[in-house]
Amino acid sequence: MDNIAVVHQPELHRFVAGSEDGQALLEYHLANKTINFHHTFVPPSMCGKGMAEKLVRVGLGWANEQQLTIEASCSYVQKFLR
């Protein structure tokens, strides 16, 4: 999975990473300098390969660079905020 790039699609409020196996995504809402990561999806063919973690780390890194207040209603992302 290291060779799969994560792409930010701000117009769709998500980060995506894909391969011939499918497309994984991390979706967010952004309002008033607060970002809420609300949904992570990894297709079954990509599960267990660290793709969700890669998406979350890239998303959180971007949010920190933008100096956003970070929230997570997605339970997977919440693990990274503890």
- Predicted pLDDT at 20: 75
pLDDT tens by residue, 5-24: 999 999 999 999 987 768 99
Q: Is the pLDDT assigned to residue 2 strictly greater than 70?
A: no
Distance CA 82, CA 80 (A): 6
Paired tokens of 29: 């809402």
Q: Is the pLDDT assigned to residue 1 strictly greater than 60?
A: no
Q: Is the pLDDT assigned to residue 3 strictly greater than 90?
A: no
Q: Is the pLDDT assigned to residue 36 strictly greater than 80?
A: yes
- Predicted pLDDT at 22: 87
Would you say the C-alpha torsion 58, 10, 82, 23 has a positive or negative sign? Answer: negative
